[in-house]
Amino acid sequence: MFTLAHLDTPPPESMESQLLQMVVDYLSDISPVSLPSSNPLYQLYQYVVGFEVHRYLDSMDGAQNGKPELIMALDAEDPARLLGFALYLPYVDDPEASTLLYLAVQSSHRRQGIGRAMVEAMLARYPHGEVACVASKVPYFQSLGFQPLAARGPQVVMNTRSQASSGLVAVQDLVPIFQSEEVRQIHNYLVKQHGAEAMSDAEKSRDQLLDELAQQAIHLTQTSSTANRLH
């Protein structure tokens, strides 16, 4: 059993620590890159995505419009234990719209309705919901009322309505993270650990994966568009 908690201010330190650990543990599930853990770049993306989520959580501490909101699924018998989370951004100038950034559930508690409950809680607040996911996750979000709208790089953009919101969202800029000294240090460490050739192969493998995901996203949205026209 679980309970849901909604936050529009930063979570307690103990919860943030568990949340960030989930980001690290389930990177392949939640990252748009979807790198397998066997890729040497995996550690670098663990840091980048983890730091991105950390920045979103920090930005909850303010009064600005469009700041992130968080839904946490807690163990009903042990409320100090985090079972899952949904991190999303309300649109700055559209009070009905939000975009789901990250959704994760502990592997030991999946298929218990936790993810569905968190998404439904988000949509209860913001019925015009959007999410971007890889093609393999489209059926899951379709079951929650989202429909494919377009391909965006390796992801399919889905929405609960037939068109996206015209509002704005305050997404984090990842460029400064990738250009940070910490990322350079991690990359240098990985080169020393695996060798320059292996890292070059890892980058090629990542790029090939992104190309494949992009093709899947395009194919799925085209197929969905054709099916909608036929109906």
Mean pLDDT of the region 98-107:
97
Mean pLDDT of the region 34-50:
95
Checking if the pLDDT of 225 tops 80, the result is no
Go through 63-78 and write b for each residue having 16 or more CB atoms within 10 A of its CB, e for each that does not. Answer: eeebbbbbbbbbeeee
Other Cβ atoms less than 10 A from the Cβ of 60: the count is 16
**Do residues 114 and 86 lie in contact, with contact meaning Cβ atoms separated by under 8 Å?**
no
- The pLDDT value given to residue 231: 55
User: If you compute the radius of gyration of the chain from its CA atoms, what whole number of angstroms results?
Assistant: 18
**What percent of the chain is predicted at pLDDT more than 70?**
97
- The pLDDT value given to residue 230: 54
Domain boundaries, the chain: 2-230
DSSP symbols for 135-182: GGGHHHHHTTT-EEEEEETTEEEEESSSS--SS---PPP-HHHHTSHH
| Domain formed by 2-230, architecture | 3-Layer(aba) Sandwich (3.40)
Checking if the pLDDT of 191 tops 90, the result is yes
- The pLDDT value given to residue 202: 97
- The pLDDT value given to residue 20: 97
Checking if the pLDDT of 164 tops 60, the result is yes
SS3 21: helix
**Do residues 158 and 148 lie in contact, with contact meaning Cβ atoms separated by under 8 Å?**
yes
Q: Which tokens go with 178?
A: 């990738």
Whole-number Å distance between alpha carbons of 118 and 105: 10
Whole-number Å distance between alpha carbons of 46 and 28: 9
In this predicted model, what pLDDT tens digit does every residue of 193-213 receive, in sequence order? 999 999 999 999 999 999 999
SS3 62: coil
Checking if the pLDDT of 229 tops 70, the result is no
